[in-house]
Amino acid sequence: MAELPQIPMTKRDLLSMIGKSAGAGAMLMAMAPLGQAHASTFTGPINLQGGGTGKSVLILGAGIAGMVAALELTRAGYQVQVLEYNARVGGRCWSLRGGDSYTELGGATQHCTFSDGNYLNPGPWRIPTEHGGVIHYCKELGVPLEPFQQNNYNAYLHHTDAFDGKPQRYKAIQADYYGHVAELLAKAVRQNALSDAVTAEDAEILLESLRSWGALDRNMRYVASNAASGRRGWAKGPGGGLTAEPIPSQPMDLSSVLKSGLWRNIATHMTNEHQHAIFQPVGGMDRIAAGFGRAVGHLVRHNAKVTAIRQSDAGVVAEYEDTRTGEKLTAAADYCVCTLPLSILAQIPLNVGPDMSAAIRAVPYRPSLKVGLEFKRRFWEQDEQIYGGITSTNLPISQISYPSDKYGSSGPGVLLAAYSGGSFAYEMTALSPEERIRRTLEMGAVIHPQYYEEFVSGISVGWHRVPFVQGCFGMWSEETRARHYSNLCQIDNRVVLAGEHASYIGGWIEGAVTSALDAVTRLHQRIQSA
């Protein structure tokens, strides 16, 4: 094969190439070490100097963005009132527990019957260490955090067309992929194929590093060995006494590993948001909402469905309906921070300029489905030694997440048994809740045969059928960001928008936090300058 020409490449060229070939997720992975992307802009608490005495702000939506705005504006001395559709605060930061009921669009009502202490987080379910804003407020509001096991090498990777449809341990796929790639690179180095890029001295160091990275033998081969088995698992593990000697396992051949496509899942855990350490609130994501509720929950008018927003040079008026009584009411203030999801806001009359109006209508929301299943016992721990982490599959359920708390406990446990999007989310939520559970059991049993024998109950949430948001999160494209993002975030007379949709951290609580902080800071500056 002819030698390929060496073409100088800028960071921009490299990132563009990665983005086109591997997608936005891979591009973001590459951007972080190149200093081109950061997981959050949060640098510390804000200080709205000058005070807001005598001025009032109406906040629409008591999700995390709305509650952050209420907390910071109240501290600055503003008169704050919040209108919230639900009978609780938190928005998508939500947990379903035994005794809860949930009615989706279309009228189907589900009753959660989980045992005490068990829950499903239908929305956000983890907090990366990169997300300093969320962590700051958890600490300030007394919400304890615990580790969330994002990557468990003992969990499974599964594809129906690979290895006869049998799930493989993550550690085996990763070890064999790394091992075979290390062997190929070592061959290239020994054959001086990289002489233009690597000096002789560096080549020796590179070979040694490849031996260590890939668990290669002294001949730079990836074969059955103690080193490889210490990563991918043993045929017979080490023990004590006369039967203590371990038996190495046989690696899968390179062709099988490559054709399986399961190596794609290795990169999942390399992004900033999914690396260790990563956290969850002790007891469920709604503990964060409860923390904000303790701080500023008294400012919230619940069961308030906003039906129109009108602004003038004198102030802002929101029309709303009490969903319990049907009473038509209004709320007025000097300014408005609107944190309603764009999927909802686009349906409400709002007299803003054409640029913001177009931006509100430009962002579609991702369909998404989560299914929680409760089982009689934690068989994934007892039978398969899986403590936390995530199994990935090409089945429509996409992911199975194992609980990262109460390890080894007896009694029932809950799995996030499906977390999927796209057409499957639409397909599943077109079915009755009972049929969704049946199909989730059917698919999950391919990976865990214990499903049927151990199943107790389940509950499902299709986000595009959740009344207060009608979608999971805003889906920006490069084109819509370039055209509409700045217009969405600008202050329009007396109205400013906030929420994860008004951030570059869409789909995460941190996007809501940083967006709210930015919005109230700019609004405060405008008020002070006026």
Residue 8's pLDDT band, with cuts at 50, 70 and 90, is: very low
The per-residue pLDDT of the chain, averaged, comes to 89
3-state class of 484 per DSSP? Answer: helix
In the predicted model, is pLDDT for residue 16 greater than 80?
Answer: no
Judged against a pLDDT cut of 60, whether residue 34 lies above it is answered with no
- Mean pLDDT calculated for residue range 420-448: 95
Q: How far apart are CA 445 and CA 447, in angstroms?
A: 5
In whole angstroms, what is the distance from residue 28 CA to residue 37 CA?
7
Query: Binning pLDDT at 50, 70 and 90, where does residue 38 land?
Result: very low
Q: Give tens-digit pLDDT for 492-529.
A: 999 999 999 999 989 999 999 999 999 999 999 999 99
Cα–chain center distance at 180: 31
Q: Check residue 479 and give its pLDDT.
A: 95
pLDDT at 14 over 90: no
187-215 mean pLDDT: 81
Looking at residue 33, what is its pLDDT?
A: 36
For the CA atoms of 157, 158, 161, 166, what is the dihedral angle to 10 degrees?
110
Residue 239: its pLDDT value, please? 60
Q: With 80 as the cut, is the pLDDT of residue 108 above it?
A: yes
Strand partners, 308: 319
How does pLDDT run across 222-280, given as a tens digit for each residue?
Answer: 899 988 888 888 888 766 554 657 789 999 898 898 888 888 877 776 666 666 678 99
What gap in Å lies between CA 498 and CA 91, rounded to an integer?
13
Note the pLDDT of residue 378: 98
Residue bearing tokens 């639409």: 426
pLDDT of residue 156: 96
The region that residue 167 occupies, defined by phi over 0 for left and psi between -120 and 50 for alpha, beta otherwise, is beta
> Residue 236 pairs with which residues in a beta bridge?
247
Confidence band, pLDDT 50/70/90 cuts, at residue 123: very high
- CA 329, 89, 272, 252 torsion-angle sign: negative
Q: Percent of the chain having pLDDT more than 70?
A: 89
**Cα radius of gyration rounded to whole Å, the chain:** 26
CA 97 to chain centroid: 21
Residue type, 47: N
Tell me the C-alpha distance between 151 and 128, whole Å: 13
pLDDT of res. 261? 85
Q: Which stretch of 27-36, 96-105, 187-196, 337-346 has the lowest confidence by average pLDDT? A: 27-36
Nearest CA among 462, 436, 457 for reference residue 102? 462
What pLDDT sits at residue 1? Answer: 30
For residue 412, is pLDDT > 50? yes
Quote the pLDDT of residue 271: 67
- Predicted pLDDT of residue 273: 64
For the segment 462-487, the average pLDDT, to the nearest whole number, is: 95
At which residue do the structure tokens 């590993």 appear?
A: 257
Q: What pLDDT sits at residue 48? A: 92
∠ Cα 14 16 17 (to 5°): 65
Question: How confident is the model at residue 3, as a pLDDT?
Answer: 33
> How much is the pLDDT for 236?
82
What's the rounded mean pLDDT across residues 387-398? 95
More confident residue, 167 or 272: 167
Instruction: Report cis status (omega within 30 of 0) of the bond before 359.
Output: no
Mean pLDDT, residues 17-24: 39
